Structure 1
């Protein structure tokens, strides 16, 4: 009897771990797909692509300035990055994604920013808290900083 109970408990534990791993893998895939599209917003000059990466209740926390939060945050940040900074392309390099895959996961990585001549003008690191919404995984808290001292 004890052997059967031990096998049953072990099976349930393994099944629970597999479910968590599966959910985290699904989140990783969704994040990779979103990151693949992200900079197309700047290539095409289409803010709707950018806005769709974010949750409606997001906060974007750029270096050296207050957080931008709420439904207009993504549009405000896109306009600044596109028109004032001259961002036209970029790249994300995800180094880790962790969490339970249920409601939130955290992504850690590196980024690169390119201008209209495809010259890299900045790079740095980021930490994004992703939230599972009824529209899929969206950026909920986006914090990043440059690897370079500001001028």
Structure 2
């Protein structure tokens, strides 16, 4: 009887230790997710600076090697050469200015993928004057060797561009 109690106590002690270990890792997960989210926000700031500088080559390097941009009314631009061409075409448009802001960034529990959802504002000089387009976007991020890269980038307008 004493032996059975000792085994039961040892088993319960082991269970408590195992539960405590899981509790510690669960508490560290939000910190890790927060660090990943902050890294993505920092990369978004870099992306915006490169857009302001009209540096299509550097913007294309923010994407994975097989990354894709899916703009409305255009074929998919996939891979860094196609992305550089697509971004270069946008940036060469008269009056080009683009800003965006993440509303939500969700990092996968494994820390290897993330979703970034937000809004953008695009300005161009059209034949009838300045045009403004407001819309939303989704970016899928992939953690490549500790660096967040854009795997997929899709956006669309809330309505017809306005003058």
Shorter chain as normaliser: what TM range?
A: 0.7 to 0.9
C-alpha distance in structure 2 between counterparts of 1:73 and 1:27, whole Å? 28
Distance in 1 (alpha carbons) for counterparts of 2:23 and 2:108: 18
Superposed displacement of residue 13, structure 1: 1.9
| 2:118 is the counterpart of 1:123 | no
CA distance in 1, matches of 2:70, 2:49: 21
**Per-residue CA shift, 1:104-123, capped at 9, x if unaligned?**
1111111222458xx77112
- TM-score (normalizing by structure 1): 0.82
TM-score normalized with structure 2 length: 0.77
1:15 to 11, 24, 32: 24
Name structure 2 gaps, 5 residues minimum.
1-8
Change (3 A) 1:31 1:85: farther
Deviation at 1:150, TM superposition (A): 6.6
Match among 153, 156, 163 for residue 142 of structure 1: 153
Which has more radius of gyration?
2
Deviating more after overlay: 99-108 vs 53-62? 99-108
Task: Provide the rounded CA distance (Å) in 2 between the counterparts of 1:76 and 1:131.
Answer: 22
| 1:55–1:139 Cα contact (<8 Å) kept | yes
| Structure 1 gaps, min length 5 | none
* Cα distance in structure 1, aligned partners of 2:139 and 2:57: 20
Q: Is the Cα contact below 8 Å between 1:112 and 1:120 reproduced in 2?
A: no
Residues 53 and 10 of structure 1: CA distance in aligned 2, closer, same or farther (over 3 Å): same
Equivalent residue number for residue 112 of structure 2: 103
Q: Which has the higher contact order (CA 8 A, sep 6+)?
A: 1
- Aligned-residue Cα RMSD (Å) equals 2.5
Quick one: distance in 2 between partners of 1:34 and 1:120? 27
**Distance change >3 Å, CA 50–CA 15, structure 1 → 2:** same
> Which whole-Å CA distance do the structure 1 matches of 2:87 and 2:146 have between them?
20
